[in-house]
Structure 1
Amino acid sequence: MDDTTHELISNAEVIAVNQDKLGVQGKKVKSTNDLEVWAGPLSDNKVAVILWNRSSSRATVTASWSDIGLQQGTTVDARDLWEHSTQSLVSGEISAEIDSHA
């Protein structure tokens, strides 16, 4: 197994979302062409959001608060589980440049 594959399947933060005690599956909440947003509730009033680029090239994927069930005016700390980084005081929407995963 190469290092990249090992890192993907052993990411403790991703595994924690998968094994969250609330046990509610996420669902696709937005789809624009080949860009998708998936979201679902987690325990402790958290929300998991997946920004997915199914196109053939790098693209920006955006989820507004209404897409993922948050009220306008809500401010969150957004955690990137792949980069292991936190963006504080995010409001209104979350957006990222995502490589192609076609």
Structure 2
Amino acid sequence: MWRNFDDIADSWSSVLSIIDYHSAHQDQLVPVAGPGKWNDPDMLIIGNFGLSYHQAKAQMALWAILAAPLLMSNDLRALAPEFKEILTNKYVISVNQDPLGLMGKRIYNKQSIEIWTRPITPTTEVNYYSYAIVFFNRRDMGSAVEVNATTSDLCLNYTQGYDVLDLFHWWKSPVHLKPGGKLSVKVNPSSVVMLTAKISEK
């Protein structure tokens, strides 16, 4: 693995600068990532002092989308339960550790709302992928923003549809999304909604 950018600091502005670097250079970074070779955006600072709960969720989700090495930088003796819950979320970790090893990228960026996607397993024999999806609200004031996206917007083209799970509310049942359908999520300021859309055989 190799570092691409500046050292991370214990601040939200530092996390944003790293995210911005990787999105600006994703056309160069995505092709070189894969099993045995990883772009490293530096450590997770979740559980330190610089990130709120929602900002910590955003770092965890986006590092998973980037297929980043998940190296924690905190004092485990003083880790608050809500940050431990983020760091041990097995569904987000599963995206990060997906065996395809493909790095995700930003596919939408408008009015401080971003959408990131990453191809994951399971796949089909005719090159349809499942996807991890992050809806990222960079705004730092106001209320939650409703973000709408169609299956076409997200390149979810498998004819049998997808089973969609909210990874930070994993106890809720997956929703079946048919071709031509629409996803609608509400994203808090400086936060994310992270989903998996897995190929369905229904």
Q: Look up the match of 1:9.
A: 87
Deviation of the 1:32 alpha carbon: 1.7
Which is further off, 45-54 or 9-18? 45-54
Instruction: Give the whole-Å Cα distance in 2 for the aligned partners of 1:2 and 1:61.
Output: 30
Task: State which of 140, 144, 149 in structure 2 corresponds to 1:63.
Answer: 149
Identity percentage over the alignment? 27
Deviation of the 1:77 alpha carbon: 1.4
Q: Look up the match of 2:111.
A: 33
Instruction: Give the whole-Å Cα distance in 2 for the aligned partners of 1:33 and 1:48.
Output: 22
The structure whose RCO (Cα within 8 Å, separation 6+) is larger is 1
Instruction: Give the whole-Å Cα distance in 2 for the aligned partners of 1:39 and 1:96.
Output: 15
Q: Look up the match of 2:98.
A: 20
The answer to whether the Cα contact below 8 Å between 1:66 and 1:72 also exists between their aligned partners in 2 is: no
Instruction: Give the whole-Å Cα distance in 2 for the aligned partners of 1:82 and 1:72.
Output: 25
Which has the larger strand fraction?
1
Letter of the structure 2 residue corresponding to residue 101 of structure 1: S
Which is further off, 90-99 or 14-23? 90-99
Uncovered stretches (5+) of structure 1, i.e. residues with no partner: none
Q: What SS does the aligned partner of 2:91 have?
A: helix
Q: What SS does the aligned partner of 2:136 have?
A: strand
Equivalent pairs, count? 102
Two-structure CA RMSD over aligned residues (Å): 1.8
The C-alpha deviation readout for 1:40-79, integer Å capped at 9, x for no partner, is 1002121111111111231012232222212286632110
The answer to whether the Cα contact below 8 Å between 1:22 and 1:43 also exists between their aligned partners in 2 is: yes
Q: What SS does the aligned partner of 1:68 have?
A: coil
Which has the larger helix fraction?
2
Instruction: Give the whole-Å Cα distance in 1 for the aligned partners of 2:158 and 2:102.
Output: 23
Q: Look up the match of 1:54.
A: 138
Uncovered stretches (5+) of structure 2, i.e. residues with no partner: 1-78, 124-129, 192-202
Q: CA 1:72–1:22 in structure 2 vs 1: closer, same or farther (change >3 Å)?
A: closer
Q: Tell me which structure has the larger Cα radius of gyration.
A: 2
Letter of the structure 2 residue corresponding to residue 52 of structure 1: F
Deviation of the 1:18 alpha carbon: 0.2
Which is further off, 43-52 or 72-81? 72-81
Letter of the structure 2 residue corresponding to residue 100 of structure 1: P
Q: What SS does the aligned partner of 1:17 have?
A: helix
TM-score by length of 2: 0.47
- Kindly indicate whether residue 176 of structure 2 is the aligned counterpart of residue 89 of structure 1: yes
Q: What SS does the aligned partner of 1:25 have?
A: coil
